Amino acid sequence: MGLRFGRERRLRVRAEFDRVFRKGRRLEGRLFLMIGLANDQPEHRLGIAVSRKVGNAVERNRTRRLLRESFRRLEPPGAGAYDLVVVARTDIVGRTQAEVDRELRDRVRRLTLRGGSGRSPAVATH
């Protein structure tokens, strides 16, 4: 578990987000939609999208902090890392760190079990 959420662990430019949105595998969740695409990096990278529908600035910033912390707590990938884009849903407001951790861990586990390269139909998991 890394202590920081450094630049090498983030999706930073629009082209990286677009590539994941276009080619990635979508996993629906109660708190967020996660889209993942295999990358050639040594570890997972995260991009976060939180729209104004989620709430006011305080709630959106708290949502980003919860997601970054959950990502930081993930186990390092054994083999095959992914670029992950997490799109927050309104249900995430008011959730605890443990709830966000549990859902993120579950979505990453499902993604890595099925493989994340290429496009596939949405997988509804609640």
Q: What CATH number does the domain located at 7-117 have?
A: 3.30.230.10
Give the strand order in the sheet containing 32-39: 45-49, 81-88, 32-39, 25-28, 123-124
What Å distances lie between residue 1 and 8, 74, 90, CA to CA? 14, 7, 28
- Are 84 and 17 in contact by the 8 Å Cβ rule? The answer is no
Q: Which residue has better confidence, 119 or 58?
A: 58
Amino acid at 37: L
112 pLDDT higher than 90: no
In whole angstroms, give the CA distance from residue 74 to residue 72.
6
Measured distance between the N- and C-terminal CA atoms of the chain, rounded to whole angstroms? 26
Is the pTM here over 0.85, yes or no? no
Confidence check: pLDDT of 74 > 80? yes
Indicate whether 57 pLDDT > 80: yes
